[in-house]
Amino acid sequence: MATVKINGKEITVEDGTLILDAARQAGFEIPTFCYQARLSRLGSCRMCIIEIGGQKKLQPSCVTPVMHGMEVFTENETVKSARASMLEFLLANHPLDCPTCDKGGECELQDFVFKSGPRRSPFSESKRRFHDKDKILSPVIIKNHNRCIHCERCVRICDEVVGRTALGSIGRGAKIMETSFMDSTLDCDHCGNCIEVCPVGSWMSLPYRYKARTWDLKEIDTVCPYCATGCQFTIGARNNEIVRVKSKITTGINKETLCARGRFGYNFIQSEKRLKKPLLKKNGKLVESSWDEAISFIKQRFGAGKKTAGIASARHTNEELFVFQKLIRDVFKTNNIDLDSRFANKWVTSSAIEVLNLAAGGISIFDALKAEVIFVIGSAISNENPITDYLIRQTAVDRRKTLILAHPRRFKLNSSANISLRYKPGTEGEVIKGITDFIEKGVFHGNVVGDISQVGEKFKNAKNITMFLGADILRLDNGTNVVAEIVALKGLLKKAGKNIIIQPLFDRCNQRGARAMGIHPLFLPGLKKVKENGMDCGEILDAAKKGEIDSLYILGEDIVSMYPDAKFAKDALSNIKFKVVQDTFLTETAKTADVVIPGASYAEKDGTFTNQEGRVQRLRKVISPVGNSKDDLDILCSIGGFAYKSAKEVFDDIKKEVLGYKDINFDALDGNGALVKGHGAENQGSRVKGQGASEIASASPRNDTSSNPYLDEYPFLLITGNHLFHSGRLSQNDDVLIKLLAEPFVEISEEDAKELGLTDKENVKVKSSEYEAVLKLRVVKGSQKGVAFMPENFDSVSVNQFYKKGQGIARVKIEKQV
Amino acid sequence: MEPILLKNINTPDSHKVDVYLKNNGYQALASALKMQPDGVIQMVKDSGLRGRGGAGFSTGLKWSFIPKDPTIPKYLCCNADEGEPGTFKDRVIIEKDPHQLIEGMIITCYAIGAKTAYIYIRGEFAFGTKRLEQAIKEAYEKGYLGKNILGSNFDCDIHIHRGFGAYICGEETALLESIEGLRGRPRIKPPFPAIAGLYAKPTVINNVETLSCISHIVNKGPKWFSSIGPEKSPGPKLFGVSGHVNKPGMYELPMGTTAREIIYNHAGGIRNGKKLKAFIPGGVSAPMLVEKDLDTPMDFDSLAAKGTMLGSGGIIVMDETACIVKVAMRTMAFFRHESCGKCTPCREGIDWTYKVLHRLEKGEGKEGDVELLEKLCGNIFGRTFCPLGDGAVMALRGALKNFRDEFVEHVKNKGCIV
Ligand SMILES: Cc1cc2nc3c(=O)[nH]c(=O)nc-3n(C[C@H](O)[C@H](O)[C@H](O)COP(=O)(O)O)c2cc1C
Ligand code: SF4
Ligand code: SF4
Ligand code: SF4
Ligand code: FES
């Protein structure tokens, strides 16, 4: 510990504390530009210079640690005038076009000049000017080089946090310019984090351009509706119109960062295509109706008992899902309720609940990342959970840690990984088993590309290991086997006295909350076992196909587009007598419904989401539901006849039924949210090895070596998932995200492309036994041979059309398009 | 004084290993390899050798900061960036007697426990690079570089890294960044290079001239070396004289020789019988001196006492025809161009001073401009990230201090009167 005197005030801090932090702790404000807590220390702007007793030169407080007995002055005349002169220098070449700058009102330069800057400048020379017109770099990013003050926060966040290194400084002296290569967006993730950290209006958001003055915005903190990382952000609205999303350095696990979806994907809310009125099917056609008519129609027609079912999307709030579950179970009297969750069968999802410890309390990602070995399997995490990717990247910088990534595809985080493993989808269990075998017996079998023995060594030598398990596992018919292997490995490591954390990586914002709310055919709220097992999604569709389902309520899920076998799903749904779809857009599934009811988007309602860590966070209403659409909770309550008046009232009931939520105070939830506690010892998933594994023989990669004409004809395993700019089918309705990526593509390894004589960006024909389409090819160096990937985000070529029920992972061939 | 560093440069083929060997070349290496590394460091400490790159830091002391742990890789970087205007001493050694440098480097590597050394050479030195490449090749062939040098079990490799024309890359941490393939600009200190330098490993950075002294110290002993010149900054020194003198050139003289002797006795005095107006003692960053300072001994401490510095020992002489405002403007043009742009005061401040000086030169000076320049100097000095910004201000302050009237005249007369 070091005791220092700051402006006469004594304070004791940890050794090595920066003078800046010590001064802030002591209650003194020091202005900074280049300093940003999570970035490497630059010490270049010299705004933070202070005087140290006995030293002639002023020192930058953001890079100088305290020393015991040091005397520091941050407010004396020397320091004040140095500060003012630094601002004077920064203003010398700054255009001072504040009246037309989007940053005006929240510009750090403006604020500091106001506080400590010179009121007049003797600068009378001509200013540096790079360009007259701002440079549009992408559909979301616009740059004004003239305003830049060269703090390089943008360069560092892009490199150190985002992992893109799309930016750099070019030129020297006053001609220095922070920009991308040739002002292009090569390598750019369009995350806009450079915009967020820029203290001035040099990087700006193009969609927000000239939309508002910052002081005219109504700003509300809420949670991102896309992946389950659960980033906090602030929505800015003007005249009931959402004009921007920004992140805050003080709030959420994401702090100042977001990904492209979170930051720019708010435009679907006000999309023209939003459903604005209930629709009823009359004479085979969906026509607009009144709310009363729609609700009473549902009440009349919806059946009860075994022949009814409900399927919900994990994008809904805990409160909505809890009430939905009540509606299905208490009113419609059935346990046939499930989540879309990649349409894994109930045994896979149940075993996942067990291995992921979802019945136990939540674990903060920061605690999980304290382990020396971090192992990620089953998620192209850079695309699925971009901010979790950032957090892992920053942790992996620590040379004492080992990051191991196992996935068929190569993606951004691989460049930060110590070990990368490649495998064929479906063989995840073999990868895990290989590690277990190596640790146990020193030998292993399996077709993994990469050094399993090195992984085994790292596991052996670590005291704390964190495994992240991605949602890919949930797509597997043999998921229960994968889980069994993980449980075996975990047991082995536990026996060796190691601390093991297994964390989920989910692709839908409230996947974890949904299970806790009882959206599962085997579990009631709080993961209490049901008395009589219900049917999962697949079983519901099977039954429907046989004509055994009369009524189905679909809350926010697009089964026709997502179920792996589009044709089958459509056929099955057409056999159901009465279908209700509650959604925000007229999805392919909604088109087949008898009643379509327009729900609200995340920005139009209150409630909570539980992220993948188990962190319960508040969603807050910013604008009222568009058109004649309604808050989903209101809709469910009026159909079910429940008396809840607000999300909070539902939450109070949740607290009674879901043990882990008992201590959470809805009104007190702030930017940090609250981690759930355990739901009780008797509540957990169940694992029955092999149960539910259906026919996978024909498609299983394990048959690869034997000659099989089907495999020879369709050599690629086709996998899917979210693209970095998209999430499910929701984001294709966002006119900004669609500008970032408008069309699906097919991605294969460089090895395969070479063998087939195909090159990046050319059009290819992708063909399975079920479907064919022409797509742009993307070639990635270092991905697994024999694997093709296609984003799941587009109606134009819907991946599930390539799939055939019962064949597991789809098989395709890829041919030159002539 | 008999020439020491320049002893061989007039011998035909002085750059070739055979010629170097004939003149007792690589003898020092043989004796050094028989000593303990610490013994070599002690010898250099005792000699009193101070770095010739500009700062004048004790070379032996710098070496002794390198951790002794044999499991940590260590590096030596020879600073051959020679970017300071008015300086051309390293170039002479590189082109005329490269083996003298290479021998010094191998001994240094041995002393600090480094197996790998880099020569960071100014990009414009294409010819020098060729000479060095050739010499390094010869040294490998003769077994002075490579594995198991002279049967001592000591291995050493030297690589050449060419710069790309940035003055800042002569600053030692910017040099390291540049070798690592990054943008050449200074790093935060601490950590100092001796602890975390090249590739975050302990590193010594020495100037070409500094390293060229080593073989002589080993051959003739520290006592001999410290007997040359003043006690606190001993040894031979290369003085490069340029500007308005009759015989511009490179002169090797004992440290502490007076400026008068160098300029008048060796460089032949001011050309065309003109009067001396000012001289810069050690490259443009060193504040200029005038006639009355001519008897100052040219060594680190005496010049520091005069408020200037020995720097690189590049003496720039100006006669009475020189316009000091123009000199100041040209100097600031150099620094403005070479500022890496990282820190605010250097990037913005120097640009600003240049713009004001440019106006003064053009005859567009305004009342208060001289005070403005003085104020800007005060706002830059001591607050920049690295010494480049300070050096620029020191140069400008030297001009303002000695010739303030000339600046004021420029404002009054709307232009130059010289
Ligand atoms: C802006 C700047 C430029 C420099 N350029 C050179 C150079 O070209 N050559 C050099 O030897 N030292 C140069 N130096 C000094 C080096 O940083 C360093 O002090 C020197 O190489 C150490 O070697 P020495 O101890 O042998 O003098 C420069 C320093 C600064 C601040
Ligand atoms: S663009 Fe913004 S963040 Fe980047 S260096 Fe300039 S002022 Fe800093
Ligand atoms: S948008 Fe993101 S990836 Fe692109 S330059 Fe900015 S920080 Fe880098
Ligand atoms: S003083 Fe600052 S801008 Fe100038 S060269 Fe050094 S670091 Fe770069
Ligand atoms: S904030 Fe300390 S130097 Fe920039």
User: Where among A478, A505, A532 does a domain terminate?
Assistant: A505
Which of A:43-62 have CB within 8 Å of B?
43-47, 49, 56-58
Check if the beta carbon of residue A279 is closer than 8 Å to that of residue A288: yes
Mean pLDDT over B187-208 rounds to 97
Neighbours of B29 (CB within 10 A): 26
CA gap A316, A331 in Å, rounded: 20
Contacts of A49 in chain B (CB under 8 A): 383
User: What pLDDT is recorded for position B276?
Assistant: 98
The C-alpha angle with vertex A136 and arms to A273 and A193, in degrees rounded to 5, equals: 80
Q: How far is the CA of B173 from the centre of ligand 1 (A)?
A: 10
Helix, strand, or coil (residue A247): coil
Q: How far apart are CA B227 and CA B47, in angstroms?
A: 9
- Cβ-defined contact of B188 to A41 (cutoff 8 Å): yes
Contact A406, A434 (CB under 8 A): no
Are both A303 and A213 inside the same structural domain?
no
A575 and A718, same domain (yes or no): no
| Counts for chain B of helices (H) and strands (E), in that order | 17, 8
C-alpha span between B313 and B5 (Å, rounded): 15
CA–centroid distance for A607 within its chain: 19
Query: From the CA of A49, which ligand is nearest?
Result: 5
Is the minimum CB–CB distance between A122 and chain B shorter than 8 Å? yes
DSSP of A770-805, one letter per residue?
S-EEEEEEEEETTPPTTEEEEES--STT-GGGG--T
* Residue A686, pLDDT score: 63
> Which of A237, A197, A324 shows the shortest CA–CA distance to A639?
A324
The DSSP output letter for B258 is B
Q: Higher confidence at residue A655 or residue B415?
A: A655
Maximum distance among all alpha carbons in chain B? 73
Which of the pair, B60 or A482, is modelled with greater confidence? B60
What is the per-residue pLDDT across B137-146, written as a single tens digit (0 to 9) for each?
999 999 999 9
Considering only CA atoms, give the Rg of chain B: 22
Tally of domains in chain A: 5
Residue A664 within any structural domain of the chain: no
Cα separations in angstroms, A243 against A210, A234, A473, A491, A627: 10, 11, 37, 50, 18
Output the CA–CA distances (angstroms, integers) from residue B187 to A18, A31, A55, A67, in the order listed.
18, 22, 21, 21
* Interface mutation vs chain B, best among A85, A176, A200, most B CBs within 10 Å: A85
CATH number for the domain harbouring residue A406: 3.40.228.10
Residue A771 amino acid letter:
Y
**Using N-to-C axis directions, what is the helix angle for B89-96 and B208-220, rounded to 10°?**
60
**A89:B349 CB<8 A:** yes
Distance of CA A809 to the CA centre of its chain: 24
Asked if residue B36 has pLDDT above 70, the reply is: yes
Q: Do A56 and B344 touch (CB under 8 A)?
A: no
Q: How far is B350 from chain A (nearest CA, A)?
A: 9
Same domain, A483 and A583: no
| Tokens found for residue A664 | 């959470």
Q: At CA A721, angle to CA A719 and CA A725, rounded to 5?
A: 140
Q: In CATH, what number is assigned to the domain containing residue A200? A: 3.30.70.20
pLDDT of residue A707: 58
Give distance in angstroms: CA of A258 to centre of ligand 3: 11
Nearest CA to ligand 4 atom 6: B386
Domains of chain B plus CATH, in order, are 17-226 (3.40.50.11540), 236-319 (3.10.20.600), 324-412 (1.20.1440.230)
Does A499 share its domain with A520? Answer: no
Average pLDDT per 10 consecutive residues for chain A, totaling 818 residues: 96 97 97 97 97 96 97 97 96 95 96 91 93 95 97 98 96 95 87 98 97 96 97 96 96 97 97 97 95 96 93 97 97 95 82 90 97 97 98 95 97 97 93 95 83 94 97 84 92 96 96 96 94 94 96 96 94 97 97 97 97 97 96 97 97 96 96 93 60 39 53 92 96 97 97 97 96 97 97 96 90 93
Whether residues A538 and A477 fall in one domain: no
Supply the range of the domain harboring residue A52: 2-75
- CATH number where A749 lies: 2.40.40.20
**ipTM of predicted assembly, 2 dp:** 0.95
Q: Considering the domain boundaries, does residue A44 fall inside one?
A: yes
By the 8 A CB rule, do A167 and A148 touch? no
B388 lines ligand 1 (CB under 6 A): yes
Tell whether A762 and A788 lie within a shared domain.
yes
Here the CATH number for the domain that contains residue A538 is 3.40.50.740
- In this prediction, residues B15-44 reach a mean pLDDT of 97
Tally Cβ neighbours within 10 Å of residue A634.
18
Cα angle A242-A247-A252, degrees, rounded to a multiple of 5: 120
Q: Are residues A250 and A296 in the same domain?
A: no
Q: Atom 8 (ligand 2): residue with closest C-alpha?
A: A151
Identify whether A417 is part of a domain: yes
CA A230 from centroid of its chain's CA atoms: 7
Task: List pLDDT tens digits, range B85-128.
Answer: 999 999 999 999 999 999 999 999 999 999 999 999 999 999 99
Same domain, A144 and A220: yes
- Are A644 and A568 within one domain? yes
Does A184 reside within a domain?
yes
- Residue A453 included in any domain: yes
Our answer on whether the CB atom of A82 is closer than 6 Å to any ligand 5 atom is no
Structure tokens at A668: 């007190």
Of A233, A268, A303, which residue constitutes the final position of a domain? Answer: A268
**Residue B346 Cβ < 6 Å to ligand 4:** yes
Task: Report the separation in Å between the CA atom of A187 and the middle of ligand 2, taken as the mean of its atom positions.
Answer: 19
Place of tokens 């001035």: A200
> Using CA atoms, how far apart are residues A241 and A217, in angstroms rounded to an integer?
10
DSSP assignment, residue A270?
Answer: G
Q: Please answer whether residues A32 and A86 qualify as being in contact, where contact means their C-beta atoms are separated by less than 8 angstroms.
A: no
Per-residue model confidence (pLDDT) at position A648:
98
A516 and A500 assigned to the same domain: no
Question: Is the Cβ of A85 closer than 8 Å to some Cβ of chain B?
Answer: yes
Q: Which of A505, A529, A549 is the last residue of a domain?
A: A505
Which pLDDT value is given to residue A450? 84
Query: What CATH number is attached to the domain comprising A20?
Result: 3.10.20.740
Q: Which helix (H) or strand (E) holds B351?
A: helix B350-362
**Span B249-306, pLDDT tens digits:** 999 999 999 999 999 999 999 999 999 999 999 999 999 999 999 999 999 999 999 9
Is the C-beta atom of B204 inside 6 A of ligand 4?
no
- What tokens were used for A718? 């086709």
> Is residue A693 domain-resident?
no
- Min Cα–Cα distance to chain A from B386, Å: 10
**CA distances in angstroms from A319 to A125, A308, A603, listed in the order given:** 62, 22, 15
CB contact under 8 A, A173 and B351: yes
Residue A741 and residue A634 in one domain: no
Q: Which pLDDT tens digit goes with each residue over B242-260?
A: 999 999 999 999 999 999 9
Q: Is the pLDDT assigned to residue B166 strictly greater than 90?
A: yes
pLDDT of residue A695: 32
Answer yes or no: do A480 and A575 share one domain: no
Q: Which residue has the higher pLDDT, B70 or A478?
A: B70
**A666 domain-assigned:** no
Instruction: Tell me, in angstroms, the distance from the centre of ligand 3 to residue A194's CA.
Output: 6
Decide if A125 and B349 are in contact by the 8 Å CB cutoff.
no
What pLDDT does A181 receive?
87
Q: Out of B347, B349, B382, whose CB is closest to A150?
A: B347
CB of B173 shorter than 6 A to ligand 4: no
Verify whether ligand 1 is closer than 6 Å to residue B313 (CB atom): no
Assess if residue A613 is contained within a domain: no
pLDDT of residue A704: 44
